[in-house]
């Protein structure tokens, strides 16, 4: 069991690093890393460096002389040079180690992906490359020489010199080791350049395998758009002569913001209309932006320690969300972000893995790259911006960049900047960073007809979370508007600042009782409990001026019907009727209508049932959702069919928001209509579609009907050699299959020779695909739990980080019935009993079962 680390134990490193030099001679099994680190003492104590068991240490010297054995101690994790062996003046520590990239299946440190040498050092991967103070508050300029016969040799910063078989790079900006990167391979680039706002020229490259070159152009366009946006929106300019992006197939996460050398999972770079969906394009654009934005929020200003991870991640997610809102549709983006937040973060916050955006303890930091740190971290910044206003936000960020450039900071530093720039006291606000759990906001309305006065009585409560039994009140910005019964807005958006456990807000001078449009724009990450009639919801769905609240009204109507149906009730005709109004309204953005048409997912319905104090039945939920879809289709067949025809996008494919929105509406209509036509439209769309978006929409509908045989065969014949498309082949089947078919289908797929399960994308496609099929994963016989647990047992020794992340599919187990709970527990206990279980997965399983 790994040791627990605590935020309160922080102490500064007792040395400053003036420069780090690396000389790396690459070989698949025996890469030699020679380091020279210039240290200067700033505190008391020995020199302690981090390094993994994978290092074969050949030599250790200080100022050129070997360190005497009596003063040198090496464990599996640290190297310590006693104080007595260290000079008083600045000194150079040098080491030569040998490492084995080919054996590195964990994909942390230096590894090989399809013949490309690449690195992943966040959070603590650099210690698998050489001995180093591997902590984010130790920052240094790096000078790196890469030696290899491979044609392209890259590292951070600017190229200094190169010759036959070597290249030297210099990164002048002090950085922590987690931002180090090195790449070598037979790569080709899409190249371009960018002129910064002060007129400097930057060379841009997106490096991919030669065969992928025709799919790298979109990433380059996204990079240029991001660079310009950061100048305009935040005044942030790029600070090196080159910016390189490299795509690799084997990657544990999405992408990594290494200084001047971003490394990406190839699925977040490569796109062509025939191989990538609209959602892929949008995601690629957002992640390219996210990693680029880290150059300021993460790299120039980094984190003091890993407890502060949301300092860079929450802010950078917030920035990439703003970017997508600007370059696409702000209304649609907000709804998408809230759907993701609820589906992942609320779920996390409601279960055994709940933790604050800034945790105060961890065993394995890689287990804290979570929806709470990222997505809730972003929501918290959104609230801050709402509270201080746009101008206050801009002033605060300017001060942040001014004051902390080149530093490793904390959440306290971040909040202090806002306090200093705006004069606001943020002591209570800080709870959003330190307290876990999603507050529940309850609204009771009191209407005084005589006085024309509406009083809103709000109360807030947050359920206990692991280690945090008591939850004091938080500041909650509640954006409200009032809509009259005939649909006019009688009060435009106003932000109420709730600071107490219970608080009243009054509205006078109202002629008649209005409908409250609550939590406009999703102004705070809370759940809402309020009584409302279906007619009032229908009024908001038809008339609310705030698109988020409008969508929410439709979503609530759907949810109420689904919950009722899962308990044997029937569809509320008010909902079916109100939906018709949305379908007929040609003034609405098709992407918005598509979101209204998308029914809540089965996991979300289960969460809602659990919130209402009942036990969700996965089979009943699946049937209810199917039945509602079928009823909506039957009720609106003509409208949907007209829409399906009207939304066809003619001409060449463009991934932009306009045409993508039309396709998403068209596919939403197809999903409903295929409940009636036996899959005829889906098959004909599959046959005629020229882009992957429509192909996948059609295919999902066919898989749901268990009629996808010919389409799947064709897909394989055409795209068998394309890993990213085949990942879709591996995920759509277990995910969309009728629940009873899903485990057999997944098991068969797992037997295929191209189920390369050591590749994280492929593993996540199939195993994650099955886990995303709610009724299949939670099958009453426990087969879903066993299937996933068996595969996690196999993956854990090979790639602990990816195995540990995937254990989160079990985090909702406490909400189900006793029989399912026992089966989930048994599956997790089998995993926990593995004699060689990794610390990563061990921590997760223990927390999930606690």
Q: What are phi and psi of 655, to 5 degrees?
A: -80, 5
Is residue 366 close enough to count as binding ligand 0A1 by CB under 6 A?
yes
Closest to ligand 0A1 by CB, 683 vs 799, is 799
Is residue 257 close enough to count as binding ligand 0A1 by CB under 6 A?
yes
Helices (H) and strands (E) in the chain, counts: 29, 31
Closest to Zn ion by CB, 134 vs 313, is 313
Q: Which residue has the tokens 């992943």?
A: 120
CB of 282 to ligand 0A1, least distance (A): 16
Give the Cα separation of 528 and 675 in Å (integer): 33
Q: Of these partners, ligand 0A1, Zn ion, none, which one is at the site of residue 369 (CB under 5 to 8 Å by kind)?
A: ligand 0A1
Q: What is the DSSP string of 616-673?
A: --HHHHHHHHHHHHHHHHHHTHHHHHHHHHHT---SS---SHHHHHHHHHHHHHHHHH
CB of 108 to ligand 0A1, least distance (A): 7
Q: Which residue has the tokens 């209309």?
A: 273
Which of positions 610-639 make contact with Zn ion (CB under 5 A)? Answer: none
Within 8 A by CB and 6+ apart from 435, the residues are 356, 462, 468, 471, 472, 474
Is residue 146 close enough to count as binding ligand 0A1 by CB under 6 A?
no
CB of 106 to ligand 0A1, least distance (A): 10
What is the per-residue binding string for Zn ion in 812-831, x denoting contact by CB under 5 A?
--------------------
Is residue 123 close enough to count as binding ligand 0A1 by CB under 6 A?
yes
- Please name which of 542, 554, 538, 558 lies closest in space to residue 628, comparing C-alpha atoms: 558
CB of 139 to Zn ion, least distance (A): 18
Cβ neighbours around 160 below 10 Å, total: 12
Where in 453-488 does DSSP place strands (E)? 453-461, 476-483
Is residue 546 close enough to count as binding ligand 0A1 by CB under 6 A?
no
Of 204-212, 305-313, 388-396, 403-411, which segment contacts Zn ion by CB under 5 A?
305-313
CB of 464 to ligand 0A1, least distance (A): 29
Question: Which stretch of DSSP H or E encloses residue 451?
Answer: none
Q: What is the DSSP string of 760-817?
A: HHHHIIIIIHHHTSHHHHT-TTSHHHHHHHHHHHHHTTT-HHHHHHHGGGGTTGGGS-
Q: Of these partners, Zn ion, ligand 0A1, none, which one is at the site of residue 796 (CB under 5 to 8 Å by kind)?
A: none
CB of 262 to ligand 0A1, least distance (A): 9
Closest to Zn ion by CB, 35 vs 316, is 316
Strand-pair category, 242-248 with 201-208? parallel
Closest to ligand 0A1 by CB, 170 vs 290, is 290
Q: Of these partners, Zn ion, ligand 0A1, none, which one is at the site of residue 322 (CB under 5 to 8 Å by kind)?
A: none
Q: Is residue 168 flagged as an active site residue?
A: no
Q: What is the DSSP string of 703-762?
A: HHTT--HHHHHHHHHHHTT-HHHHHHHHHHHHHHS-HHHHHHHHHHHHTSTT--TTSHHH
Closest to ligand 0A1 by CB, 31 vs 119, is 119
Within 8 A by CB and 6+ apart from 584, the residues are 639
Which residue(s) pair with 208 in the sheet?
A: 188
Q: Is the dihedral of CA 100, 106, 108, 113 positive or negative?
A: positive
Q: Of these partners, Zn ion, ligand 0A1, none, which one is at the site of residue 704 (CB under 5 to 8 Å by kind)?
A: none
Of 116-124, 516-524, 586-594, 636-644, which segment contacts ligand 0A1 by CB under 6 A?
116-124
Of 119-127, 159-167, 299-307, 611-619, which segment contacts ligand 0A1 by CB under 6 A?
119-127
CB 234 within 8 A of CB 148: no
Closest to ligand 0A1 by CB, 110 vs 708, is 110
Within 8 A by CB and 6+ apart from 16, the residues are 39, 40, 41, 42, 138
Closest to ligand 0A1 by CB, 547 vs 759, is 759
How many chain residues interact with ligand 0A1 (CB under 6 A)?
14
CB of 405 to Zn ion, least distance (A): 19
Q: Distance of CA 320 to CAs 277, 307, 492, 540, Å?
A: 20, 22, 28, 30
Is residue 441 close enough to count as binding ligand 0A1 by CB under 6 A?
no
Closest to ligand 0A1 by CB, 107 vs 482, is 107
What is the per-residue binding string for ligand 0A1 in 211-250, x denoting contact by CB under 6 A?
----------------------------------------
- Please name which of 59, 65, 62, 64 lies closest in space to residue 33, comparing C-alpha atoms: 59
Of 15-23, 115-123, 491-499, 764-772, which segment contacts ligand 0A1 by CB under 6 A?
115-123
- Please name which of 568, 579, 509 lies closest in space to residue 537, comparing C-alpha atoms: 579
Which of positions 270-329 make contact with ligand 0A1 (CB under 6 A)? Answer: 290-291, 313
Question: Which of 122, 168, 257, 291 is the catalytic position?
Answer: 291
Question: Which stretch of DSSP H or E encloses residue 389?
Answer: helix 377-404
CB of 293 to Zn ion, least distance (A): 8
For residue 123, say if its preceding peptide bond is cis, omega within 30 degrees of 0: yes
Q: Of these partners, Zn ion, ligand 0A1, none, which one is at the site of residue 689 (CB under 5 to 8 Å by kind)?
A: none
CB of 14 to ligand 0A1, least distance (A): 27
Closest residue to ligand 0A1, based on beta-carbon distance: 253
Is residue 252 close enough to count as binding ligand 0A1 by CB under 6 A?
yes
Closest to ligand 0A1 by CB, 561 vs 802, is 802
Q: Of these partners, Zn ion, ligand 0A1, none, which one is at the site of residue 366 (CB under 5 to 8 Å by kind)?
A: ligand 0A1
| Candidate residues 33, 146, 181, 256; the one interacting with ligand 0A1 per rule CB under 6 A | 256
CB of 297 to Zn ion, least distance (A): 9
Closest to ligand 0A1 by CB, 257 vs 602, is 257
Closest to ligand 0A1 by CB, 367 vs 683, is 367
CB 15 within 8 A of CB 41: yes
Q: What letter would DSSP give residue 30?
A: -
| Candidate residues 33, 206, 255, 524; the one interacting with ligand 0A1 per rule CB under 6 A | 255
Give the Cα separation of 742 and 775 in Å (integer): 9
CB of 805 to Zn ion, least distance (A): 15
Q: What are phi and psi of 309, to 5 degrees?
A: -50, -35
Give the Cα separation of 290 and 315 in Å (integer): 10
Closest to ligand 0A1 by CB, 254 vs 744, is 254
CB of 277 to Zn ion, least distance (A): 23
Give the Cα separation of 452 and 565 in Å (integer): 38
| Candidate residues 117, 243, 369, 418; the one interacting with ligand 0A1 per rule CB under 6 A | 369
For residue 779 the two structure tokens come to: 């099958």
Q: What is the DSSP string of 521-590?
A: GG-SS-EEEE---HHHHHHHHHH-SSHHHHHHHHHHHHHHHHHHHHTT----HHHHHHHHHHHH-TTS-H
Which of positions 310-329 make contact with Zn ion (CB under 5 A)? Answer: 313, 316
Closest to ligand 0A1 by CB, 674 vs 838, is 838
CB of 663 to ligand 0A1, least distance (A): 28
Q: Of these partners, ligand 0A1, Zn ion, none, which one is at the site of residue 256 (CB under 5 to 8 Å by kind)?
A: ligand 0A1
Strand-pair category, 361-362 with 5-6? antiparallel
Give catalytic residue positions: 291
**Binding residues for ligand 0A1, per CB under 6 A?**
120, 122-123, 252-257, 290-291, 313, 366, 369
**Binding residues for Zn ion, per CB under 5 A?**
313, 316
């Amino acid at each position: 069991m790994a040791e627990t680390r605590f935020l309160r134990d922080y102490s500064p490193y007792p040395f400053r690093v003036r420069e780090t030099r690396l000389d790396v001679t690459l070989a698949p099994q025996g890469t030699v890393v020679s380091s020279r680190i210039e240290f200067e003492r700033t505190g008391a104590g020995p020199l302690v460096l981090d390094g993994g068991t994978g290092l074969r240490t050949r030599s250790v010297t200080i100022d050129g002389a070997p360190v005497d054995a009596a003063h040198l101690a090496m464990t599996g994790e640290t190297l310590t040079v006693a104080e007595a062996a260290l000079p008083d003046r600045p000194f150079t520590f040098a080491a030569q180690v040998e490492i084995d990239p080919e054996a590195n299946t964990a994909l942390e440190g230096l590894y090989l992906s399809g013949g490309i040498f690449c690195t992943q050092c966040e959070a603590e991967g650099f210690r698998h490359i050489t001995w180093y103070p591997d902590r984010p508050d130790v920052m240094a300029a790096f000078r790196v020489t890469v030696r290899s016969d491979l044609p392209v040799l890259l590292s951070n910063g600017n190229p200094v010199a190169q010759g036959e078989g070597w290249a030297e790079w210099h990164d002048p900006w002090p950085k922590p080791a987690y931002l180090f990167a090195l790449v070598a391979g037979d790569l080709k680039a899409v190249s371009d350049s960018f002129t910064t706002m002060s007129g400097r020229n930057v060379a841009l490259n997106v490096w991919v395998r030669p065969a992928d070159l025709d799919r790298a152009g979109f990433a380059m366009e996204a990079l240029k758009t991001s660079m310009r946006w950061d100048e305009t929106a935040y005044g942030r300019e790029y600070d090196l002569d080159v910016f390189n992006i490299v795509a690799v197939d084997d990657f544990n996460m999405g992408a990594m913001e290494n200084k001047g050398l971003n490394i990406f999972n190839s699925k977040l770079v490569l796109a062509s209309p025939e191989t990538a969906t609209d959602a892929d394009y949008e995601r690629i654009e957002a992640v390219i932006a996210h990693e680029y934005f880290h150059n300021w929020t993460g790299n120039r200003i980094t984190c003091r320690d890993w407890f502060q991870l949301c300092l860079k991640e929450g802010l950078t997610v917030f920035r990439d969300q703003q970017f997508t809102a600007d370059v696409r549709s702000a209304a649609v983006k907000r709804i998408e972000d809230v759907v993701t937040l609820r589906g992942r973060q609320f779920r996390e916050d409601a279960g055994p893995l709940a933790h604050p955006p800034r945790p105060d303890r961890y065993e394995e930091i890689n287990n804290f790259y979570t929806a709470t740190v990222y997505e809730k971290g972003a929501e918290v910044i959104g609230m801050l911006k709402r509270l201080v206003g746009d101008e206050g936000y801009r002033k605060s960020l300017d001060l942040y960049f001014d004051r902390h450039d080149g530093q490793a900071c904390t959440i306290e530093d971040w909040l202090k900047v806002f306090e200093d720039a705006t004069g606001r006291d943020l002591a209570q606000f800080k709870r959003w960073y330190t307290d876990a759990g999603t507050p529940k906001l309850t609204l009771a309305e009191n209407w005084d007809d005589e006085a024309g006065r509406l009083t809103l009585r709000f109360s807030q409560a947050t359920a206990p979370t692991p280690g945090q039994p008591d939850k004091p009140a938080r500041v909650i910005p509640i954006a409200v508007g009032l809509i009259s019964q005939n649909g006019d807005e009688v009060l435009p958006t106003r932000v109420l600042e709730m600071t107490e456990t219970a608080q009243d807000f009054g509205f006078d001078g109202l002629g008649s009782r209005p409908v409250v449009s609550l939590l406009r724009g999703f102004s705070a990450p809370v759940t809402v409990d309020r009584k409302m009639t279906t007619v009032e919801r229908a009024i908001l769905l038809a008339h609310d001026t705030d698109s988020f609240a409008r969508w929410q009204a439709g979503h609530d109507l759907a949810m109420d019907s689904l919950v009722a149906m899962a308990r044997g009730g029937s569809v509320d005709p008010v909902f079916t009727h109100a939906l018709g109004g949305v379908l007929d309204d040609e003034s609405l953005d098709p992407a918005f209508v598509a979101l209204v048409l998308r029914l809540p997912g089965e996991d979300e319905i289960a969460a809602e049932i659990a919130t209402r104090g009942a036990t969700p039945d996965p089979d009943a939920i699946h049937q209810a959702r199917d039945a509602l879809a079928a009823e909506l289709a039957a009720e609106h067949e003509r409208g949907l069919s007209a829409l399906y025809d009207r939304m066809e996008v003619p001409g060449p494919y463009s991934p932009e928001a306009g045409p993508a929105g039309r396709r998403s509406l068209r596919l939403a209509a197809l999903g409903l209509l295929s409940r009636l036509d036996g899959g005829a439209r889906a098959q004909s769309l599959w046959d005629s579609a020229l882009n992957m978006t429509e192909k996948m929409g059609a295919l999902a509908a066919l898989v749901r009907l268990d009629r996808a045989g010919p389409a799947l065969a064709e897909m394989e014949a055409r795209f068998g050699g394309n890993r990213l498309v085949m990942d879709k082949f591996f995920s759509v089947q277990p995910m969309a299959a009728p629940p009873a078919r899903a485990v057999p289908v997944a098991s068969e797929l797992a037997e295929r020779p191209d189920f390369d399960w050591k590749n994280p994308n492929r593993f996540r496609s199939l195993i994650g695909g099955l886990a995303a099929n709610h009724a299949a994963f939670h099958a009453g016989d426990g087969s879903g739990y066993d299937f996933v647990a068996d595969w996690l047992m196999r993956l854990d020794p090979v790639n602990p980080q990816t195995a540990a992340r995937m254990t989160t599919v079990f985090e909702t187990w406490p909400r189900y019935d006793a029989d399912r709970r026992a089966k989930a527990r048994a599956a997790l206990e089998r995993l926990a009993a593995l004699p060689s279980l990794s610390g990563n997965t061990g921590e997760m399983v223990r927390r999930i079962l606690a």
